[in-house]
């Protein structure tokens, strides 16, 4: 029988081809997490697996406006599912007329869900992202 780790490159190609952001495999002695950030697929080692009971933070809109998951001059989303973010980093933007306001991450964490579609009009406090905080880090 072959070692499953011999097939990580193939798993990465399938992950990218299926346009999935995260593949996590758990076993009795090891965990394998493959993260697809749109540009490449990388194996993430040494991290604790996502816990079903882990607390999450819902990031709401700081103002009403048009939600943008990327800067208007860029094609790539800022914070996709499975992206690690630091406190204060922009997760997306709100466009209010000619004003562009960043939606900052309240603390360091892993983006587990994007709740609003690009170009959606949102109200104050509307849920935009779900973060799983990284234990022991506040920035």
pLDDT digits (tens, 9 = 90+) for 41-94: 666 655 444 444 558 899 999 999 999 999 999 999 998 888 899 999 999 999
- CA-wise closest residue to 79 among 89, 67, 88: 89
Cβ-based neighbours of 99, under 8 Å, separated by 6 or more = none
- State the pLDDT at residue 12: 75
Taking the C-alpha atoms of residue 69 and residue 37, their distance in angstroms, rounded to an integer, is: 14
pLDDT at 8: 74
Question: Is the distance from CB of 38 to CB of 31 less than 8 angstroms?
Answer: no
Q: What's the whole-model pTM score? A: 0.59
Average the pLDDT over 17-33 and give the result.
Answer: 69
Q: Where are the alpha helices (DSSP H) in the chain?
A: 8-17
Q: What is the pLDDT of residues 95-118, one digit of tens each?
A: 999 999 999 999 999 999 999 999
Q: Is the dihedral of CA 103, 109, 113, 118 positive or negative?
A: positive
Exposed/middle/buried for residue 21 (C-beta within 10 Å: 0-12, 13-18, 19+):
middle
Burial of 81 (C-beta count, 10 Å sphere; 0-12/13-18/19+) = middle
């Amino acid at each position: 029988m072959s070692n499953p780790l011999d097939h990580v490159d193939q798993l990465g190609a399938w992950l990218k081809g299926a346009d999935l952001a995260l593949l996590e495999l758990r076993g009795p002695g090891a965990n394998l997490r493959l993260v697809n950030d749109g540009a490449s697929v990388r194996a993430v080692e040494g991290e604790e697996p996502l816990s079903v009971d882990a607390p999450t933070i819902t990031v709401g809109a700081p103002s009403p406006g048009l939600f943008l998951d990327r800067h208007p001059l860029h094609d790539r989303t800022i914070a996709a599912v499975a992206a690690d973010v630091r406190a204060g980093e922009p997760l997306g933007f709100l466009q209010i007329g000619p004003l562009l306001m960043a939606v900052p991450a309240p603390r360091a964490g892993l983006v587990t869900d994007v709740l609003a579609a690009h170009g959606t009009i949102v109200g104050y406090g509307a849920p935009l992202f779900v973060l799983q905080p990284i234990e022991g880090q506040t920035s």
